Amino acid sequence: MLLKDPSYPTIPIEHPKMLDIWSWICELPDSAGSCSSSVLELARSMPDRDGLTQSIQLRANWTACEPSSEEAAITFSLYLLGFESQKLQQGPIWVSDPYPLSSDKPFLPLLLQLLREIISRSPTTQESTCPRSRLGDLRPEPVAWIMDSHAPESLSGFFNSIFLLRLFWLCSFDAPCEAGTFYYHCLLAPNLETLACNRTPVLRKFLATIGVDAELCFTRAFSYMLAKWLILREVGGVGLKTLASLPADDRGLVVSYATEAHGLWILKGYVPIQAMKVTQSSNQLKSFPITEAKDSVLKYVLAHQQLEAVIQVEYSVKFFESYIQVNARVDNIRLHVVNLGFKKGDSNEGEFADERHFPSRARLWVGPEVGATYVGGFSLGQSTNNSGKEIETQKIVKGSFGKTKVPKVKTTARTSSRTRIRNWRWDQDAEGNAAVFDGVLCDSGTGREVATCRPGGADGGSGFHKRYAGAQRPFTKTGGVIFAGDECGRSVVWRLSREMEGSVMKWRIGGQIWLTYWPNNNDVIRSSPFETRAVELCDEVDLPLIPGKVVKI
């Protein structure tokens, strides 16, 4: 879906309250009784000059499972009313499968259907290894576990987010453009707080249990919707006043969570580029609208990108006679920037298809909870690297002896120095009892830190033109970067009191990621637009101090 016209009409909203679809569904009777349907109005506009209104309705209809059966089934359908398009007057834009009400989880199939339809519409990259025919696969067990382990009031925000996301794809792709405008203004804007994923623990647990393939598809579908919204908000066409309660850097729109499994602490984050905080930017990339057509297309392409971060820290626990030792080392850091497109060329990227942000700094911290008094000692595993220069000196002396009017003594001195500049420099540091791993991308030509500098030199981008090609490229061909544990230094060590033995401690893990954009293809982009954005991810993980064999020293 493209931005065809930035001057969207203002639609007065009659019901700007938050959605609570799940509560309405749970309160539906087991049988139709005296009526055959029930209606929930999701949104309605104020009457126009002719007294006409537009609305979106969700209807529940009771039917028999089979013509000869007395068992009741329920079907849900969505209607768009009051729109001029003849297509919307012919019937519902979406109808669910019929669900028998005799089941102990009658609405589990509804949630599964919504999730499968969302995942099957996920933007995918050309390099994806997941076949498109398998994108809609989702095992029911994780979803059933989510429903069993949470109270209905906890599930409400999760279900409302899922329904709102499914409705986005219906109104934006399966309905005329007037329905998409109505959705953005009357549904998405008033209910944007529902999408504040870090405030919805159920969604984070759901992502941690559905498997990484379904997780990637779901988060890309989710970020695609947010990317569209953030562009429209910047254009200034819809619902600006409803965002007053959100933080300036849109941290509420970041999907991130941490888990502990098999001796690893894993922190994951999925962030639309437009939701990251701008730390520096050129005039060409500051905001929409942009006067130059090419700059506008470039910014539109860059806005349809997502950061996908995976940070893995390996830990171990050893028990000594007088203390407990906790070791941690970085196992893997994977940072990818993916285009939220369906296939190359579908998003009108054209000549800008290879333009994208790249990771320029990664700062990871891990350690006990703030204020912990049970840590008796803390040691880092890497000293500061004070590397020296290699200096080569050469002296040449020439001369001749004898009687001559012209002296023939000549000396030559030549001095050269040799330095090696790495693309990435990793340091270890400490903040209280937290270990900090800090990786910074440096320009191999100038030695400057990319995240804090502007493109320099006559060519505008220094050594980062054609950065996804060639043997010396600092990134993968798909635009990401991967660090193995040996690049980040050796393990760090905490010493804990033996009184903590047998308990499960809360350990904090977090990170900041910086992404920078410099032009990749100067044959297309003559100017030198640039920007750097940053996002913070943070969560808690478990540290089980289970008694084991005591090591004697």
Report pLDDT digits (tens) over 313-370.
999 999 988 899 999 999 999 999 998 876 554 444 567 777 889 999 999 999 998 8
| Residue with the larger pLDDT of the pair 205 and 234 | 205
137 burial (CB, 10 Å; 0-12 / 13-18 / 19+) is: middle
> What mean pLDDT value characterizes the chain?
78
Does residue 267 share a domain with residue 212? no
Does residue 158 share a domain with residue 88? yes
Q: Name the residue among 54, 89, 60 with its Cα closest to residue 72.
A: 60
Query: What count of other Cβ atoms lies within 10 Å of the Cβ of residue 279?
Result: 14
Does residue 193 share a domain with residue 78? yes
Report which secondary-structure segment, H or E, holds 226.
Answer: helix 212-235
Last residue of a domain, one of 221, 246, 271: 246
Predicted pLDDT of residue 420:
57
Global pTM reads 0.83
Which pair of structure tokens corresponds to residue 495?
């010493």
CA gap 386, 388 in Å, rounded = 7
In a domain, 287, yes or no: yes
Does residue 313 share a domain with residue 278? yes
Which pair of structure tokens corresponds to residue 539?
């969560």
In a domain, 211, yes or no: yes
Predicted pLDDT of residue 12:
52
CA gap 258, 266 in Å, rounded = 5
In a domain, 514, yes or no: yes
Q: How many domains does the chain have?
A: 2
Residue 5 has pLDDT above 70, yes or no: no
In a domain, 449, yes or no: yes
In a domain, 433, yes or no: yes
Split at pLDDT 50, 70, 90, the class of 457 is: low
CA gap 543, 540 in Å, rounded = 10
CA gap 86, 96 in Å, rounded = 22
Does residue 470 share a domain with residue 356? yes
In a domain, 409, yes or no: no
Which pair of structure tokens corresponds to residue 510?
């977090």
| Helix segments in 121-211, DSSP class H | 140-148, 152-173, 177-183, 201-209
Last residue of a domain, one of 212, 246, 280: 246
Does residue 127 share a domain with residue 61? yes
Q: Which residue has the tokens 């933080």?
A: 247
Instruction: Give every CB contact of residue 175 below 8 A, 6+ residues apart in sequence.
Output: 80, 85, 87, 88, 93
In a domain, 390, yes or no: no
| Residue with the larger pLDDT of the pair 104 and 236 | 104
Taking residues 531-547, what's their average pLDDT?
Answer: 90
CA gap 138, 120 in Å, rounded = 10
Last residue of a domain, one of 246, 278, 301: 246
Q: Which of 38-47, 194-203, 419-428 has the lowest mean pLDDT?
A: 194-203
CB 320 within 8 A of CB 550: yes
Phi-psi domain of 33 (left: phi exceeds 0; alpha: psi -120 through 50; beta: other): left
CA gap 66, 443 in Å, rounded = 69
Split at pLDDT 50, 70, 90, the class of 292 is: low
Q: Which of 118-122, 307-311, 368-372, 428-432 has the lowest mean pLDDT?
A: 368-372
Residue 241 has pLDDT above 90, yes or no: no
Does residue 171 share a domain with residue 122? yes
Residues paired with residue 95 on neighbouring β-strands, in sequence order: 77
Side chain identity at residue 438, one-letter code = D
In a domain, 528, yes or no: yes
Which pair of structure tokens corresponds to residue 251?
């941290």
- Domain span including residue 328: 263-385+421-553
Q: Coil, strand, or helix at residue 245?
A: coil
CB 307 within 8 A of CB 481: no
Query: How does strand 94-95 pair with strand 390-398?
Result: unpaired
**SS3 assignment for 64-78:** ECCCCCCCEEEEEEE
151 burial (CB, 10 Å; 0-12 / 13-18 / 19+) is: exposed
CA gap 173, 117 in Å, rounded = 13
Predicted pLDDT of residue 265:
94
Residue 103 has pLDDT above 50, yes or no: yes
Peptide bond before residue 289 is cis, with ω within 30 degrees of 0: yes
Does residue 242 share a domain with residue 276? no
Predicted pLDDT of residue 381:
80
CA gap 307, 536 in Å, rounded = 12
CA gap 157, 155 in Å, rounded = 6
Instruction: Give every CB contact of residue 468 below 8 A, 6+ residues apart in sequence.
Output: 354, 475, 476, 477, 478, 479, 520
Residues paired with residue 38 on neighbouring β-strands, in sequence order: 60
Does residue 118 share a domain with residue 71? yes
Which pair of structure tokens corresponds to residue 450?
């990319």
Does residue 282 share a domain with residue 221? no
Does residue 179 share a domain with residue 97? yes
Residue 35 has pLDDT above 70, yes or no: no
Predicted pLDDT of residue 130:
61
Does residue 267 share a domain with residue 157? no
CB 11 within 8 A of CB 181: yes
Side chain identity at residue 121, one-letter code = R
